[in-house]
Amino acid sequence: MKNINILTQSGVALLFGATVLQAADTADVQGYWAGGYTDGQGGEIQFELTVIDGVGELKYNASNWGALGFGICEYLFPVENGQPGTVTRNSAAGTGDCLAEPAFTLSRATPDAISLVFKNPEVALEAAELGGVLRPFDPAAAHAPVAGLDILGIAPGMTFDAIDPVLTGKGYARQEARDNTLEYEGHKIAQKVWGRDQDGDGQPDDWVFATFTSEKDWATDDTPVATDVGRDWHIPASENVSGATMVDGLAKKYGARSNTINEDRMYDRAGAVMADSLSCPEGAHQPITSNYMLDSEQGSEEIAVTCGPILKAYVGSDSDTGRATWLKLHITDPDPLWDDFWKTWSHGEGARLKSVFDGVTGATGAAPEL
């Protein structure tokens, strides 16, 4: 899930900005950071930095880059108070003439970027600025609340125990036979289902669904919250409501739609509907996979953390009468998804880092007699 791109242009080109910004006064350097430079003369260098729970890993891939020449090099180091300790080369990884003892400091250039200031002149960069491809969710940077953004009173961020009585009070009953569990190594994601009314086959024709954050083997006290809530309603003729009325109802509750192609609403991080938009703004952090479930479909989609919540909506109508026949809605919130992704991904990646770090720094035995 890691993506690194190199920007190529004349002169030394910086991937995530033209200048290095003043460093922020923070020790929060956890994340997976990446970026690269070209020198306009065929030289390139790429960096990858991962910091999780006090252990860091730095990789660089130099190709005809000044005094570094050619090399794929990897290093491990402890992190204390946001700064690297002794940096040790992983001699089992990489090729070429790697720096024996790289030394650098870390600082957050912006919320989306980190700066590495090297003390090694061979690097030939005043500072390397890397983008935050994966990083912990910061509650202080949560998107603004969006008033009225719910489905029948339920919304992402609510627990099962908060959702269930709201739906029960509106006549929905749990449909455990339709529940689903997505199984992963060490954690699982629950998808819960409710229904009301009945069609000719005795099945509900008005369904509500909620997908929750992971239940983790290593964090059993964490209470899952909804990341996506949805409604799939096959509207009976007895409702006698037109498709135009349903569309107007969406606009009244959720605001103007974000484009003229569909009934979707995309909200920015400030909580306002994004006009003339089909996608979220670009950002350093890669999109996160979101799972959702409806009566008519089940799947996953990529959600960008540069947006606030996203409402996907569809109104079906009879072409002869204009009567509304189908309503599909689901709301996805990137913030609980982001938080959950970091906690699950960093758990496994942190264990890998710790294992490699212990192996590299623990190899202190003297050379045997030969």
Q: Which residue has the higher pLDDT, 5 or 285?
A: 285
Q: How far apart are CA 306 and CA 309, in angstroms?
A: 10
Give me the helices (H) in the chain, please.
Answer: 160-169, 243-254, 334-361
Q: What is the largest CA-CA distance in the chain?
A: 92
Predicted local confidence at residue 365, as pLDDT: 55
CA distance 161 to 159: 5
pLDDT digits (tens, 9 = 90+) for 28-85: 899 999 999 999 999 999 999 999 999 999 999 999 999 999 999 999 999 999 999 9
pLDDT of residue 13: 37
pLDDT digits (tens, 9 = 90+) for 173-208: 999 999 999 999 999 999 999 999 887 778 899 999
Domain span(s) for CATH 2.40.128 in the chain: 13-135
178: Cβ–Cβ under 8 A, 6 or more apart, which residues?
193, 195, 207
What would the two tokens of residue 269 be? 């991080």
Alpha-carbon distances, residue 166 vs 19, 106, 161, 329, 365 (angstroms)? 51, 48, 9, 17, 64
Average the pLDDT over 305-311 and give the result: 98
User: Which residue type does 142 have?
Assistant: A
Whether 217 has a pLDDT exceeding 60, the answer reads yes
Show Cβ contacts of residue 236 under 8 Å, excluding neighbours closer than 6 positions.
197, 199, 205
Residue 364 has pLDDT above 70, yes or no: no
13-135 architecture in CATH?
Beta Barrel (2.40)
Residue 265 has pLDDT above 70, yes or no: yes
pLDDT at position 289: 97
pLDDT over 80 at 348, yes or no: yes
Q: Name the more confident of 367 and 340.
A: 340
pLDDT of residue 277: 93
- What is the pLDDT at residue 25? 38
Q: Which of 93-102, 136-145, 279-288 has the lowest mean pLDDT?
A: 93-102
Q: Summarize the confidence of residues 341-360 as an average pLDDT.
A: 96
pLDDT at 21 over 60: no
Q: Read out DSSP for 270-281?
A: TSPBPSS-SSPP
